[in-house]
Amino acid sequence: MLRVCRKAAGGAAQSCLYGRGSLRPLQPCCYYSSTGSSGATAGKLVGAGLLFMGGGLGGTILYAKWDPKFRANVEKSVPYSEQLFQMTLGPPASPAPLPKKAVPPQPLHISSVAETSKESKQKKEKSAEQPAAEVLPPPGEHSLEEASTEAAHIISAMSEAVSVPAPGTHRDEAEPQAEAPAGAECVECKHEAPSAVKERPAEEVAVRLALQDQAEQDVLASLSTTLEEALGRTAKVTLQAVEAQDAAVQAICTHTQKLKEAMEDSEVSSDQKSTQWSALESALKERSKCVDNAADALQKARSELENLRGVIAAAKKSSVPGARAHILAAEENLHRMSVDLDNKVSKVQSAQTEAKIISQYSELVREAKTQFQKELNSITPDIQGGWKGLKMSDVAGKLTADDLNSLIAHAHRRIDQLNRELAEQRVREQLRIETALEQQRLEDKKALDGAVAAALERRREEVRLEQERKVEEVREVMEAEMRTQLRRQAAAHTDHLRDVLKVQEQELRAEAQESLNRKLVEQETEFRRMNQQQINAFTQDVNTAFARLKGMEDAIDSHAVAEEEARRAHQLWLAVEALGYTLKTAAAEAPTEPLAGAVQAIRDSCGENEFAQALATALPEESLQRGVYSEASLRARFYSIRKLARRVAMIDETRNSLYQYFLSYLQSVLLFEPEQVAPPAKLSPDDMDTFKLLSYATYCIEHGDLELAAKFVNQLRGESRRVAQDWLKEARLTLETRQIVSLLSAYANAVGLGTTQAP
Amino acid sequence: MSEKELGRKWDRCLADTAVKLGAGLGLGIVFSVVFFKRRTWPISFGLGYGLGMAYSNCQHDFRSPYLLHGHVVKEQ
């Protein structure tokens, strides 16, 4: 304590200007302590002081041990207490762990989140599965059904177009046959109906039709083969029969011819006659043989024809329509063959009748000849051997005149007889002719009937065949026509379809074209729009890029400018700081360094800044040239001023004699007022007293308000004012300079802040 | 420094007083010795004269700031 006081007393001599006010409280204790420095009381005092200090220290340490906050405070406030505490108490306890509380709630949150996510996932899966499952089957069914119906429609359309002519051909054979298959088909249809397929698919129909066709073809083939075989056989046989018949006819004809020749050629020599008769006999044999052959062949032919007929009937029964033509052909062949056969037979019969007639004639002739011969023989018994084979020349040589006369008479008689017979014959001829005619008529009638019947039969057959053929033809024609009609219909249908398709195509084409055009236009417009958009976007991008570039450039420029500004601001700030620093260089009594340099630096650093320039120029010349005094020096100076001002408080213009000086000095000595009085907010005229003003100013000075002090000092009047004039000036200078400097500093700070780039 | 002015004035005044007093004393002594047969009254007179002059000078010096100087403006 003493040492401190002593130090303080010693320091006061050096720094009385500075520490005078603060040392005031210490001075009394100095005086107190200086009086009580005698021996015994000093020791007591020292001991008490030591005890007090030890107690305080121990208490502090104990309390620090108990309260770590206090320890921290003490460590903060008292410099070397940390080491003291570490030595005595040890290192401070670590702070309690805090984050433990935050950890436990987190797992809960996470689990709950996981649970919720799981739940949501399950729900989502479930919900996804169900609609998927629900969605899948119906589309499947629908698709199947639709596809099947569509296919069926298409196929039915196709099959209708395709299979229409087919049933036409199949109709006849399908009628008896297709009833069963149709029934089966219907049954099948019925079976298939519940399976939601409405029509038989075309493949089945086609297969069935194909099968039917195949079967029909097979049957037809078989029938045709049988027919052909039969036909062939019958044809062969019939041909044979016909040939035989022809041969027979030929033979008969030759025979008759021969017979005729034999009969007629009586002038022929006997050799020739005998040859003729032998030829005739041979011819007769031939004829008989041929006739027999013909008969056999005929029999065979007829049997074959019967067979063929039977086969044809069977074929008819089998009723394959394709075979109808064959059947008809076969029937026709049959008919023709039978007709031929009949013709041939009739020819043969006619030939035979003719031959019979001829033979009868020949018989008659022979009888006549024999009769004549007999007569001749009776008349002329000489000539033997018959007249036949004798020539007239031979006869003339052998006979006499009587014989000749008798012969002639006989001949005449014969001639008369013959004439009479002829007349009789002529007469009877008529009757006989009539009867013969009648007979002939009858026979003719019979024959006619028979022939008519046969012809009728044949005709009927022919007609029937014709009819059948016609029917067949008609049927074929009909079928052909039907086919053609159907084809035509199909063609018409196809035409119609084609037309419709064409129309549709046109429509669709038009539509498509339109839609295409529309789409094209749309696409075009879209494209244009997109293009424009792209262009716009591009230009926009380019513009933005350009703008950005510009912005960047501007930013860079502004950055550069800002940096420049910042640099300048920095410089300014530095200069202002330098200026501020120069302000601090005021020594105790000496003013600061001249501020001219710093101000010049400021002027240089803020070349274009009018404000700074103005401020820089606003600095008073004195401060520039000479510098300003520091506040402390002014403060110190103030006290002397104060003293002086107090001493010359009375002196003014009116009172300025020496005596007044003396009186004023006396007044200052005798007048007691507090050194510092807080100035009121408002000054009243009473406060314009020098001493009061000085008190106010002192107070302000003591509290660092140089300005207010200067203001108060400014209110001094008279000699006090004059005395304080320089101080006031200096104070004003200082204040001005400080104000300008603070302005500049503020300005520099503001500029610096302004130019600082905010992150 | 304006506060030193008074001091300076006082210094001047005292110096002047001293000088004047000295001079007065001197002159008084001289006059007293020379003219007035070593009487004290010339010394005191001289001192008084010196003091008076010094006082007057002092006062004038102290008053000088407050003196108004008039100027005669010649009318034309």
Q: Complex ipTM, two decimals?
A: 0.89
With beta carbons under 8 A apart, name residues in chain B contacting A668: none
The arithmetic mean of pLDDT across residues A167-178, rounded, is: 42
User: CB distance A722–B65 less than 8 Å?
Assistant: yes
CB contact under 8 A, A644 and B3: yes
Residue B35, domain member (yes or no) = yes
Q: Which residues make Cβ contacts (< 8 Å) with residue A461, sequence separation at least 6? A: A335, A338
In this predicted structure, the answer to whether residue A715 has a pLDDT above a threshold of 80 is: yes
Chain A residue with Cα closest to B7:
A644
- A640–chain B Cβ distance below 8 A for any pair: yes
A chain contacts of residue B66, beta-carbon cutoff 8 Å: 652-653, 656
Residue written as token pair 């009116």: A654
Measure B63 CA to nearest chain A CA, in Å: 6
Comparing CB atoms, the residue among A658, A723, A729 nearest residue B58 is A658
Environment class of residue A227 by beta-carbon count within 10 Å: exposed (0-12), middle (13-18) or buried (19+)?
buried
| Residue A723 distance to chain B (closest CA, Å) | 5
Whether B74 is in a domain gets the answer: no
State the amino acid at position A388 in one-letter form. K
Rounded to the nearest angstrom, the minimum Cα separation between B19 and chain A is: 18
Mean pLDDT of A629-653: 84
Contact A348, A292 (CB under 8 A): no
The model's pLDDT over A656-702, given as tens digits with 9 standing for 90+, comes to: 888 888 898 899 899 888 888 887 888 888 778 888 888 988 998 89
Q: Which residues of A touch B58 (CB under 8 A)?
A: 658
For the record, the structure tokens of A535 come out as: 């262009």
Residue B70 belongs to a domain: no
Which of A629, A641, A723, A727 best tests the B interface by mutation, with the highest count of B CBs <10 A? Answer: A723
Distance CA A690, CA A717 (A): 8
Inter-chain contact A637–B3, Cβ cutoff 8 Å? Answer: yes
CB < 8 Å to A723, chain B = 2-3, 5-6
CA distance A415 to B39: 275
Compute the average pLDDT of residues A236-248. Answer: 76
Residues from chain B contacting residue A725 (CB–CB below 8 Å): 2
3-state secondary structure A567-627: HHHHHHHHHHHHHHHHHHCCCCCCCCCCCHHHHHHHHHHCCCCHHHHHHHHHCCHHHHHCC
Among A640, A656, A660, CA closest to A713: A640
Pairs of residues, one from chain A and one from chain B, whose beta carbons lie less than 8 Å apart: 41
Q: Which tens digits make up the pLDDT trace of A499-558?
A: 787 787 788 888 878 888 888 888 888 888 888 888 887 888 888 788 878 877 877 777
The set of residues, in sequence order, having a beta carbon less than 8 Å from that of A152 and lying 6+ positions away, is A197, A198, A199, A201
Contact status of A663 with chain B (Cβ, < 8 Å) = no
- The answer to whether B63 contacts A644, with C-beta atoms less than 8 Å apart, is no
Do the domain assignments include residue B75?
Answer: no
Find, in chain A, the residue whose alpha carbon is nearest to that of B57: A658
pLDDT digits over A15-27, tens only?
Answer: 444 444 444 444 4
Q: Tell me the Ramachandran region of residue A705: left when phi exceeds 0, alpha when psi lies from -120 to 50, beta otherwise.
A: beta
Rounded to the nearest 10 degrees, the angle between the axes of helix A401-584 and helix A596-605 is 170
At A269, give phi and psi (nearest 5°).
-70, 165
Q: Does B63 touch chain A (CB under 8 A)?
A: yes
| Average pLDDT score over residue span A582-594 | 70
Give the distance, in angstroms, between the CA of residue A365 and the centroid of all CA atoms in the same chain. 115
CA B12 to chain A, closest CA, distance in angstroms equals: 14
Residue B57 lies in a domain: yes
Q: Establish if B58 touches chain A: CB-CB under 8 angstroms.
A: yes
Q: Do B62 and A722 touch (CB under 8 A)?
A: no
Q: Which domain holds residue B12?
A: 3-63
B1 touches chain A (CB under 8 A): yes
Q: Is residue B71 part of a domain?
A: no
The identity of residue A224, as a single letter, is S
Residue B53 distance to chain A (closest CA, Å):
13
The answer to whether residue B17 is domain-embedded is yes
CB A152 within 8 A of CB A198: yes
> In this model, does residue A165 exceed pLDDT 90?
no
| Residue A139 backbone dihedrals phi, psi, to 5 degrees | -60, -35
CA distance A278 to A169: 66
Residue pointed to by tokens 């020791």? A43
Residues contacting A61, CB < 8 A, separation 6+:
A84, A85, A88, A89
Locate A329 and state its tokens: 């052909």
With CB atoms and an 8 Å threshold, state whether B62 touches A724: no
Q: Distance between CA atoms of A495 and A41, rounded to whole angstroms?
A: 150
Count of other CB atoms within 10 angstroms of residue A612 = 24
Residue B69 forms part of a structural domain:
no
CA distances from B12 to A287, A688, B15 (A): 217, 32, 5
Q: Report the number of distinct structural domains present in chain B.
A: 1
pLDDT band at A368 (very low <50, low <70, confident <90, very high): confident
A215-227 pLDDT tens trace: 878 877 787 788 7
**Whole-prediction pTM:** 0.37
The amino acid present at A578, given as its one-letter code, is: A
Contact B3 A661 (CB under 8 A): no
pLDDT in the model for residue A586: 64
Name which of B2, B55, B66 is nearest A653 (Cβ-Cβ).
B66
Contacts of A648 in chain B (CB under 8 A): 6
Give the closest residue to A589 by CA, choosing from B57, B23, B25, B4.
Answer: B4
Whether B62 sits inside 8 A of A661 (CB atoms) is yes
Q: A245: which residues sit within 8 A by CB, 6+ positions away?
A: A294, A297, A298, A341, A344, A345, A347, A348
Reported as a pLDDT band with limits 50, 70 and 90, residue A351 is: confident
Interface test with B, best of A648, A658, A659 (most B CBs within 10 A): A658
For residues A604 and A639, is the Cβ–Cβ distance under 8 A?
A: no
Region A353-357 average pLDDT: 75
